[in-house]
Amino acid sequence: MVVSHQIPMGKYAASIDDVRAAAKRIKGIGHRTPILTSKTLDRLAGRKLFFKCENFQKVGAFKFRGGWNAISMLSDKDAKNGVCTHSSGNHAQAVAYAALKRGIPAYIVMPNNSPDVKLEAVKGYGANVTLCEPTLEARQTTLEKISEKTGAEVIHPFNNPNVIAGQGTAALELIEDVGEVDAIIAPIGGGGLMSGTCITTRSLLPNAKLFGAEPKGADDAYRSLKEGKMLPQESPNTICDGLLTSLGENTWNILKDHLNAIYTVSDDEVIKAMKLIWERMKIIIEPSCATPVAAVLSSEFKELKGIEKVGIILTGGNIDLSKIPF
């Protein structure tokens, strides 16, 4: 039986009650994604692994959870002019699809180097797409102009409290389906998923370890945790296109208090993890999604003691099949 331990109300952008409320909104709209296991990966990692397969979620990524939760909570007045956001792909798809379900317009700002598979999916959901230079400043400036022009409600990719609560439902389902685990690990980009995972896990399994995974070429969260203050992403260089952004104030406030460690992995390790998941589990995951897999297979992670059961959130599978790097 999983017992809830209350984190002080009001300290963070979202609470376990917010996560549970989000789960009710998502039920019947999104998928309760499966949890897969692999004896081969267990052997390679030296512990039991439980893969929460959000690559099977609506839009092919966990981002649907937060996008739908935030958009479904808008009043008719706030939603009347539609919604807008900036994203390199998966949050863009989530907002576009959620807006389509609600019957309102979606305006999406995407960097001009976004993967084609993600760009085409966003357009396929009927969103109005504006391309910009692949910098955070360009994304934010373009979004502000579109919001001012259209009156659309901004759905921030990760710093929105309702997005954080929605993302926390992936860990909620994992814990409900598996029971007690000794640790949960997930990728960190802006930190929406990881912060939601922290809120859920700390409330339900207060003794479990919480780990993040980042590419070495985009390691702002790792550096931030090490320095004890939020540091910006600086010239990211990695194939993990979903992890290029910086943390937000709301996500950092949660991560700094609850993360036990962040593991960084090379792009080569990411590619090897993607290939291994395909070979042994017969599923495709995108590079960003492979970071926690690469982390648990690293020699550094294997040295950890007292951790026998690890939950891994596989965040998405949206990758151009013509550009699979193995």
CB 49 within 8 A of CB 1: no
- Given this model, what pLDDT does residue 175 score? 98
pLDDT given at position 46: 97
Longest dimension (CA), the chain: 55
Angle, CA 53 vertex, CA 57 and CA 211 arms, to 5° = 120
Q: CB neighbours of 137 closer than 8 A, spacing ≥ 6?
A: none
Report pLDDT for 107. Answer: 98
| Catalytic pick among 63, 118, 195, 224 | 63
Residues of the chain with CATH 3.40.50.1100: 16-62+160-323, 63-154
Cα 191 to Cα 314: distance, rounded to the nearest angstrom: 15
**Contact (CB, 8 A) for 90 and 64:** no
Q: What class does CATH assign to 16-62+160-323?
A: alpha beta
Q: Is 147 one of the catalytic residues?
A: no
Q: Is 63 a catalytic residue?
A: yes
Q: Are strands 106-111 and 48-53 parallel, antiparallel or unpaired?
A: unpaired
∠ CA 168-290-281, rounded to 5°: 100
Domain at 63-154: CATH architecture: 3-Layer(aba) Sandwich (3.40)
Which listed residue (15, 58, 87, 88) is catalytic? 88
Each residue's pLDDT expressed in tens, for the chain with a length of 326 residues: 344 555 655 789 999 999 999 999 999 999 999 999 999 999 999 999 999 999 999 999 999 999 999 999 999 999 999 999 998 889 999 999 999 999 999 999 999 988 888 899 999 999 999 999 988 889 999 999 999 999 999 999 999 999 999 999 999 999 999 999 999 999 999 999 999 999 999 999 999 999 999 999 999 999 999 999 999 998 899 999 999 989 999 999 999 999 999 999 999 999 999 999 999 999 999 999 999 999 999 999 999 999 999 999 999 999 988 888 88
SS3 call for 261:
strand
pLDDT at residue number 8:
57
